[in-house]
Amino acid sequence: MSDRDTWPNQDIGPDAGTSQRVSGNWVARHDLLLYFLLAYVLSWAVWPLVLINPQSSPLVPFGPLLAAVVVALLAGGWRELRALLGQLLRWRVHPIWYVIGLLGPFVLAAGAAALTVATGAPAPNIDAYTDWLGIGVALVSTIVIVGLFEEVGWRGFALPRMQRRLDALWAALVLGVIWALWHLPELISDPGQRPPLQFSFGFWPNP
């Protein structure tokens, strides 16, 4: 079994040749910092509008995706953007990653539900999980909003670059903190609907 089979993200991001060609590019040298700043700015831009309409969303969900596209273009041009978006079509990985991808969310969601109840949240209503149409709609919206709007930026752009500076575990932990803080407008704007402690446990499967 090769390293490519066991770790599907190792080739993501600019290679050494690309790094040499853009060594004089200020954006390329500070791509991570610029990405995080832009992701926050774009996503939090609508937060003040909650003061006018409390029912409005305090967060732009596609901010991380847009930030990744902009920084990739500025740092490496169309080639870098194609490499970023091309990850969405990468499917030839070791089968274990498909097992983890298909079963992992259910295991993590069950664990997160148990933790939310343990920290004071009401127990989930089992009857709600018999609405298969609702579950299907929620699944599709999660794939689009989380998988496309967020993870192309967090995992597709930021994580591979962080792993060049940190080992895989520390890169994931640091990114998890940055990702969690990105949800701050939702926690502050609606603390009754999303208690911070329970909300954090409930969202933990997603980083």
Instruction: Quick: pLDDT tens for 136-178.
Output: 787 777 777 777 888 899 999 999 999 999 999 999 999 999 9
Cα-Cα-Cα-Cα torsion 150, 174, 22, 7, nearest 10 degrees, comes to -80
* Confidence grade of residue 15 (pLDDT, cut at 50, 70, 90): low
DSSP code, position 39: H
| CA-based nearest residue to 80, from 141, 17, 26 | 17
**Domain extent for 117:** 3-203
Q: Among the residues of 49-167, which ranges form H helices?
A: 63-86, 95-118, 132-142, 151, 159-162
Model confidence, pTM: 0.69
Q: How many domains does the chain have?
A: 1
Has residue 49 got a pLDDT over 90?
no
Give the amino acid at 11.
Answer: D
**Measured distance CA(125)–CA(159) in Å, rounded:** 36
CA distance 73 to 24: 15
Which of 204, 189, 192 has its CA nearest to residue 58? 189
Write down the pLDDT at residue 69.
96
- Helix 95-118 and helix 196-203: axis angle, to 10°? 160
Rg (CA), the chain: 19
Q: Distance between CA atoms of 122 and 124, rounded to whole angstroms?
A: 6
Token pair listed for 84? 């970023």
Decide which of 53 and 177 is more confident.
Answer: 177
